[in-house]
């Protein structure tokens, strides 16, 4: 008995991979599913949906194979492989594709292409971390959790809205949902720590290597142990004068003008031209 058709197909796929057989589905619809082996082999498994129930039942099968083992399993989907490699990728998200290919060959004696290995790794990472789109949609939940677990912190989110948002009746099918643009974060513990440290702030930015891109802007202090002290950071759409001014304005609001006034700023030449005295 199986919960649904997908459960039966997943079971057959696992059997095909572990036994090294070229099994494929000759019939597959909403009421029946039949798995057969390659031509000349008598093995088969037939499953159908039960009446007045959502479950499926295996009704007939022939267990003996008359064929040789195969190194390429057609029904071995990337989705099944991502579940099989889930634990390994979770332990090492930066695992190389060639390692996955070698693992599949040594464990099941099957050949994987680089394209399929990359698809398997990405699907496993999406399952572990959630897709990037889903994470951006929960950015306000993330901000609320930061404020709940770190009272006194500052989180500022800026979004952009399409021009159709201002219309009383937007055109049908137009996506008028706001899109994430920037987020600024300054944790209360870091803020209070910097207030008793030497007045020196380092500014820098770096690229974010994700499908959506962006820039990470940071303000770093210097603690009494000569270690770096993160003060605030922000994710912005690009490293521009406007984004830096927005970041520094929020930083001034957090630290106060009296503290910022006496600070020495250290940055590369691209940011030296910024007017840091924003309140004068």
Residue 176: predicted pLDDT: 74
How does pLDDT run across 182-214, given as a tens digit for each residue? Answer: 999 999 999 999 999 999 999 999 999 877 889
Q: Are both 59 and 143 inside the same structural domain?
A: no
Are 261 and 159 contained in the same domain?
Answer: yes
Q: Do 271 and 162 have their domain in common?
A: yes
Structure token pair of residue 217: 């802007």
Q: Domain end: 50, 75, 100, which one?
A: 75
**pLDDT tier at 59 (50, 70, 90 boundaries)?**
very high
Q: Tell me, what's the pLDDT at 273? A: 46
Whether residue 156 sits in one domain with residue 82: no
pLDDT value at residue 194: 94
Mean pLDDT (whole number) for 8-32: 89
**Pair (31, 60) in one structural domain:** yes
Mean pLDDT of the chain: 87
Q: Give the model's confidence band at 270: pLDDT under 50 very low, under 70 low, under 90 confident, else very high.
A: low
Q: Are residues 227 and 262 in the same domain?
A: yes
Q: What single DSSP character describes residue 84?
A: H
Q: Please tell me whether residues 108 and 128 are part of one structural domain.
A: yes
**How far is residue 233's CA from residue 201's CA, in Å, rounded to a whole number?**
12
Which residue, 75, 90, 125, sits at the end of a domain? 75
Q: What is the mean pLDDT of residues 234-248?
A: 92
- Contact of 116 with 143, CB cutoff 8 Å: no
What's residue 127's pLDDT?
Answer: 85
Helix ranges (H only) for 109-228 are 114-129, 132-137, 139-149, 188-194
Q: Are residues 238 and 158 located together in one domain of the fold?
A: yes
- Based on C-alpha coordinates, what's the Rg of the chain? 28
Asked if 11 and 81 sit in the same domain, the reply is: no
Q: What is the pLDDT of residue 19?
A: 86
Domain span holding position 121: 77-148
Using pLDDT thresholds of 50, 70 and 90, give the confidence band for residue 279: very low
Cα torsion 93, 94, 97, 102: sign: negative
Q: 154 Cβ partners below 8 Å, 6+ apart?
A: 184, 185, 186, 191, 232, 250, 253, 254
The domain tally of the chain equals 3
Binned at pLDDT 50, 70 and 90, residue 254 comes out as very high
Confidence label for 243 from pLDDT (cuts 50, 70 and 90): very high
Looking at the structure, tell me whether residues 85 and 184 fall in a common domain: no
Same domain, yes or no: 17 and 102: no
Among candidate residues 148, 165, 194, the one where a domain is terminated: 148
Instruction: Summarize pLDDT for 115-172 with one digit per residue, the tens.
Output: 999 999 999 988 887 777 788 889 999 999 999 999 999 999 999 887 776 777 777 7
Give the pLDDT confidence of 97-112 residue by residue, as tens digits: 999 999 888 888 888 8
- pLDDT value of position 182: 95
Same domain, 156 and 218: yes
pLDDT for the residue numbered 191: 94
pLDDT at 269: 62
pLDDT in tens, 172-181: 777 777 889 9
């Amino acid at each position: 008995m199986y919960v649904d058709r997908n459960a039966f197909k997943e079971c057959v796929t696992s059997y095909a991979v572990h036994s090294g057989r070229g099994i494929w589905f000759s019939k597959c619809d909403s009421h029946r599913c039949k798995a057969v082996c390659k031509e000349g082999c008598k093995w088969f498994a037939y499953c159908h949906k039960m009446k007045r129930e959502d479950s499926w039942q295996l009704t007939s099968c022939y267990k003996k194979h008359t064929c040789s083992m195969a190194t390429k399993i057609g029904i071995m989907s990337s989705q099944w492989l991502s579940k099989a490699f889930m634990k390994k990728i979770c332990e090492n998200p930066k695992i190389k594709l060639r390692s996955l290919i070698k693992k599949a060959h040594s464990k099941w004696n099957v050949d994987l292409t680089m394209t399929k290995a990359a698809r398997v790794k990405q699907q496993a990472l999406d399952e572990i971390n959630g897709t990037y789109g889903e994470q951006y949609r929960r950015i306000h939940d993330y901000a609320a959790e930061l404020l709940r677990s770190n009272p006194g912190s500052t989180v500022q989110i800026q979004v952009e809205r399409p021009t159709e948002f201002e219309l009383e009746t937007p055109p049908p099918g137009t996506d008028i949902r706001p899109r994430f643009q920037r987020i600024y974060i300054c944790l209360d513990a870091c803020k209070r720590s910097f207030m008793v440290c030497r007045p020196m702030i380092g500014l820098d930015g770096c690229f974010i290597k994700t499908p959506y891109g962006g820039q990470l802007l940071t303000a770093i202090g210097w603690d009494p142990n000569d270690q770096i002290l993160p003060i605030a950071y922000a994710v912005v759409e690009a490293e521009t004068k406007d984004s830096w001014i927005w970041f520094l304005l929020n930083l001034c609001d957090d630290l106060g003008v009296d503290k910022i006034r006496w600070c020495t700023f250290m940055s590369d030449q691209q940011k030296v031209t910024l007017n840091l005295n924003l309140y004068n």
